[in-house]
A and B are shown apart, each in its own frame.
Chain A
Amino acid sequence: MSILVNENTRVIVQGITGREGQVRTRLMQGYGPKVICGVTPGRGGEETQGLPVFDTVADALKQVGEFDASVVFVPAGFAADAAMEAMDAGIKLVVIVPDRVPLHDVLKLHKFAAERKARFLGPNTLGCLSPGKGVLGMMGGSPDAAREFFMPGRVGVTSRSGGITSSIAYYLKKAGIGASTIVHVGGDSIVGLPHPEILKLFEEDDATDAVVMFGEIGTTQEERVAEMMRRGAFTKPLVAYIGGRQAEEGTRFSHAGAIVEGGRGAYSSKVEALRDAGAVIVESFEELPAETAKVLEGMKK
């Protein structure tokens, strides 16, 4: 299998008539999975990319049936609201692509999602992609590029940076290592499915043998991953690279994530915790493919 998305995932696109919505709908149609329809309030009854457009998610549900996931391409200020609409209609996975979604909107969304037992990836995410099966979001950009960048295999990839997500998968591919699912958890400090949640899914996924993780300074995600490893909640080999080693404390770059708060969050805290828990820490990005290959080689013995 794979996690979050496969060839059978039924998708609805919110904000399907916008510039990004249209372009990335073509990506998902061209690469997989199954895009069923879209929503843009006020544009119900129209068609785009050969798909029907509805005014509300509830309408779409009534007319064309159940969805496994919604992918949101509405402007940042409306993104949490769109996600709530999808969750309220019963959709259990929402991928929130837009960048700059206000933090407190995301906090409220977390509460809303927990009450409805729904999950969300992002905000500020490229989405997730299971090579050869399907993509939710905009990873790869176009079907051709996605086919060029990514290759099926048995390594899970999870990353806090969009560009780095694709880079890891591409450099692994060049080293002959394919991926089960590639996940960009989102660049913000508060996201729906942070690294620990993704590792839980990879742990349960029988198509994933090992995981490569790109962490960043700021937040407690990587420390919590280390904690999971120590108590045996994540048992597969983990290769990790932590970005932001040179960033001065308190300086945050354009990623919302990189804030150094207290002891946890700092580069050394993450590296030490992960190393102690048994992860392979890679000091430079260039070493990632070779180290991953070594880990996979070691598993065969």
Chain B
Amino acid sequence: MARLLEYKAKETLARFGISVPRGEIAGDPESAIATAERIRFPVVLKAQAFITGRAEKGLIHFCKDADEARAAARQVLGRTIGGFPVDTVLIEEKLDISQELFAACIVSDEIPGPLAVFADRGGTGIEQMAQDGKTKLARRPFDPVAGLLPYEARTLAVKCGMEGKQIGAVADFLVKLAKAFLAEEARGLEVNPLAVTKDGRFFALDCHFSVDDYAAGRHPELGIEIAREIGHPPTELEKIAAAYEATDHRGTFYFLELGAGGEKPVGFHGAGGGGSMMSMDALVARGFTAKNFCDTSGNPSAAKVYRAAKHILAQKGIVGYFASGSGVASQEQFHSARGMVKAFREWPLYVPAVIRLGGNKEEVAIGILNEFLADLPIPVEAYGKDNSAEFCAGRLDALVNEHAPLEPYECTPTARSEDAGEEYAFDIRTGTISFDHTICIRCEDKPCIESCHVEILEVVDGKPRLREPADESAHRCTECLACELACFKAGMRSISIKLPIPGFEEYITRRGAR
């Protein structure tokens, strides 16, 4: 589930009539001071990061003047949390608080449905306090269409010992919270603490707001960059992956950097959630750490798998490449094989790889990997459904022990590298296919024609081209990459399929070194 940073969550609550402290964000110490002066001291300076217990970790500071604000901002900005830097602070007015409460709406799979929770105490350690019985806590399911009704909210308030005017105030707050929860299709919305000021007003002092990934597209107002659970602000490479994925809906591609260091980091390429988890478990059992999580599933095109593989290879410091899903997939597996071949030869692959592509048409997939990668100076082993993820992780372990990562080396990619003498090119869904007809004319077999399962190519005067109507033919291309591989195999290398990833090359150049 996509999470909102505190400031964004509070902005959202405010739209539903919930009071939040006056506040603004800043990205450097000087603007933090200017902001604090606008808001007026004393202020609270809070690191914007997905982490709990910020106060104890020195990520929340109370500042009474500019010097303190500068010192606090300097201390917080640039600190890394879980391997990722803090780049934003929220500066807020400091309220005069008399009481801290807790309020939340969550989705319970047990009901199943939305559930409102309220407690007479809040702040850090609420879970522990609730467990120890030190707090009065009440919960109540509510209707996913009608929302939390005022009388239901009042019941929660009374159960937790609220009295007099507070009953109405708490109920009003909870009804608004439930409204925000349903309207924004949240998965969880938690206000902790819910502060009561000395003059009796209610403020959301901190807020955890997670939104349903699948509904994020219906809520542009939330400005969610990557509609997935991530424990950190998205990295550049993650943003590049997500931006591409948003433009290509065939199958899913998800890439997440796991940040944390560890022994024997491996580039991980999964397929399907459960199979990926099982495969990562198998890796970890062998003493590896997954450098990333990557999932290409739901019948992705070869082009998509190619792009995913490039993201994985682009990470620095991996000692192996491990691809494994459930092992018995319903989708045809050779698309993934072709995508990997193109990526591995192009980058080229510099660490040992174990690829487990089990299921429908796995024999074809394994054949492709073995045939097209045998000449690499680093081993690639391919397996299917009859070899478990545990076995494959064991094979990777053996290979990694024998083969250290290679320095960049010369490798012939499957695509033509040179400019065409006589170019014939057309656009496909997410890229371009280019032929060099001066090469094609020398090719007797024209394996590209036969390899194309949607049969969009024909030979005219010894040169492959799109069948008429050409536009319609190009549109039918499934980006299976079979023609490029067939052309490479024939020793021609006339075909070059360009599959751009916006921002990727620029990122690699800026970052330096492959």
Interface residues of A (CB under 8 A from B): 76, 99-105, 107-108, 110-111, 126, 138-142, 145, 149, 159-164, 166-167, 169-170, 174, 187, 189-190, 194, 214, 216, 219-221, 224, 243-248, 250-259, 261-262, 284-286
Q: Are B281 and A245 neighbours in the complex by a CB distance under 8 Å?
A: yes
Q: Among B292-300, B307-315, B410-418, B483-491, which stretch is in contact with chain A?
A: B292-300
List, in ascending order, chain B residues with CB within 8 A of A244's CB.
277, 281
Asked whether A164 and B275 contact (CB < 8 A) given A111-B143, A142-B360, the answer is yes
List, in ascending order, chain B residues with CB within 8 A of A164's CB.
272, 274-275, 278, 326
Q: Among B13-21, B108-116, B469-477, which stretch is in contact with chain A?
A: B108-116
Determine the distance from Cα of A138 to Cα of B298 in the docked complex, in whole angstroms.
Answer: 12
List, in ascending order, chain B residues with CB within 8 A of A99's CB.
252, 298
Q: Which residues in chain B, 122-148, are within 8 Å of chain A measured between CB atoms?
A: 127, 143-145
Q: Which of A163, A245, A254 contacts B327 (CB 8 A)?
A: A163
Q: Are B107 and A258 neighbours in the complex by a CB distance under 8 Å?
A: no
Determine the distance from Cα of A220 to Cα of B386 in the docked complex, in whole angstroms.
Answer: 32
Interface residues of B (CB under 8 A from A): 1, 106-107, 109-110, 112-114, 127, 143-145, 182, 185, 187, 212-215, 218, 228-229, 231, 252, 254, 258, 260, 270-278, 280-282, 284-285, 293, 295, 297-298, 325-332, 358-360, 385-386, 388-391
Determine the distance from Cα of A105 to Cα of B271 in the docked complex, in whole angstroms.
Answer: 26
Q: Which residue of A lies closest to B390 (CB)?
A: A286
Q: Which residue of B lies closest to A137 (CB)?
A: B330
Q: Which residue of B lies closest to A162 (CB)?
A: B272
Q: Which residue of B lies closest to A160 (CB)?
A: B274
Q: Which of B284, B297, B330 contacts A141 (CB 8 A)?
A: B330
Residue from B106, B114, B281, B330 with most neighbouring chain A CB atoms (10 Å): B330
Q: Are B330 and A253 neighbours in the complex by a CB distance under 8 Å?
A: no
Q: Are B214 and A103 neighbours in the complex by a CB distance under 8 Å?
A: yes
Asked whether A255 and B144 contact (CB < 8 A) given A142-B360, A162-B272, the answer is no
Asked whether A286 and B388 contact (CB < 8 A) given A111-B144, A166-B326, the answer is yes
Q: Are B231 and A250 neighbours in the complex by a CB distance under 8 Å?
A: yes
List, in ascending order, chain A residues with CB within 8 A of B389's CB.
285
Determine the distance from Cα of A105 to Cα of B328 in the docked complex, in whole angstroms.
Answer: 30
List, in ascending order, chain A residues with CB within 8 A of B215's CB.
102-105
List, in ascending order, chain B residues with CB within 8 A of A159's CB.
274
Q: Are B385 and A167 neighbours in the complex by a CB distance under 8 Å?
A: yes
Q: Which of A111, A221, A254 contacts B109 (CB 8 A)?
A: A221
Determine the distance from Cα of A214 to Cα of B282 in the docked complex, in whole angstroms.
Answer: 16
State how many angstroms separate the Cβ of B142 from the closest Cβ of chain A.
Answer: 11
Q: Are B360 and A141 neighbours in the complex by a CB distance under 8 Å?
A: yes
State how many angstroms separate the Cβ of B202 from the closest Cβ of chain A.
Answer: 26
State how many angstroms separate the Cβ of B114 from the closest Cβ of chain A.
Answer: 7
